[in-house]
């Protein structure tokens, strides 16, 4: 079995300086091209294989459109399962606002390790977000036995990876742990021959960087 995690491509909230979260932004032309490149490369993996696969996607437009592009490239004959539980973290009243507007409503946590703090009125805490993603997916699918392709968001994919590695949010906070998940990146999880939960590929954007380096200087390092 395998779980393929794909983050949606660049979306209009990135280019229009809107908040992310539950803002229902759409893919930009660049974002569609990014996902098309990922889909073409994934299609090479699936070519000639009779692989039973389910495709699950967040119901927000930027993710559902990304899933449709991938499904078409793979020649997927089933139905894409649009799942509200795969949405990004709920940012409450900040959804749809510009980043400047949202700053007026932002409630700063006492520390970055806060798990039950709401950044915006009506939004989710980190614990609530994690539980929604994890409980939803583990209830919807047999993650240890099915082949799944999941198209979602940075935070959602991070939560799935944390759970796959056996970590709850308390452990994530205690270890100050994270993984980067860039737009249109591909991550592959699976159970290896030693019956371990493995991360076979993480945040792969090689389909976007032909002829370039590893992007060592493009990550969001602490200043």
- Active-site residue (options: 8, 13, 153, 207): 8
Helix axes 61-74, 29-46, angle to 10 degrees: 40
Pairing type for strands 2-7 and 148-152 reads parallel
**CB burial readout 135-159, b (16+ within 10 A) else e:** ebbeebbebeeeebbbbbbbbbbbb
Provide CB contacts within 8 A for 75, sequence distance 6+. 43
124: annotated active-site residue: no
Q: How many residues does the chain have?
A: 223
**Marked catalytic residue, from 10, 73, 88, 124:** 88
Rg over alpha carbons for the chain, rounded to the nearest Å, is 17
- Specify whether 79 is catalytic: no
Annotated binding residue at 62?
Answer: yes
Beta bridge partners of 11: 27
The DSSP letter of residue 89 is P
Binding site listing:
62
Residues comprising the binding site for substrate? 62
Active site residues: 8, 88
């Amino acid at each position: 079995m395998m779980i393929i995690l794909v983050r949606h491509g660049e979306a209009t909230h990135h280019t229009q300086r809107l908040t992310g979260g539950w803002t229902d932004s759409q893919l930009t032309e660049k974002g569609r091209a990014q996902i098309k490149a990922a889909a073409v490369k994934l299609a090479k993996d699936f070519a000639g294989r009779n692989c039973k696969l389910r495709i699950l996607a967040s119901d927000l437009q930027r993710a559902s459109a990304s899933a449709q592009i991938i499904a078409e490239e793979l020649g997927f004959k089933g139905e894409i399962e649009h799942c509200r539980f795969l949405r990004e973290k709920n940012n409450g009243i900040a959804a749809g606002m510009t980043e400047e507007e949202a700053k007026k409503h932002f409630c700063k946590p006492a520390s970055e390790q806060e798990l039950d703090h709401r950044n915006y009125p009506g939004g989710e805490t980190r614990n609530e977000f994690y539980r929604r993603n994890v409980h939803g997916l583990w209830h919807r699918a047999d993650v240890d036995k099915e082949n799944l392709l999941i198209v979602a968001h940075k935070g959602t994919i991070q939560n799935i990876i944390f759970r796959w590695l056996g970590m709850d949010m308390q452990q994530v906070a205690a270890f100050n742990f994270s993984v980067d998940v860039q737009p249109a990146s591909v991550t592959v999880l699976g159970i290896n021959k030693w019956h371990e939960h493995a991360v076979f590929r993480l945040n792969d954007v090689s389909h976007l960087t032909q002829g370039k380096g590893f992007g060592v200087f493009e990550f969001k390092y602490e200043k």
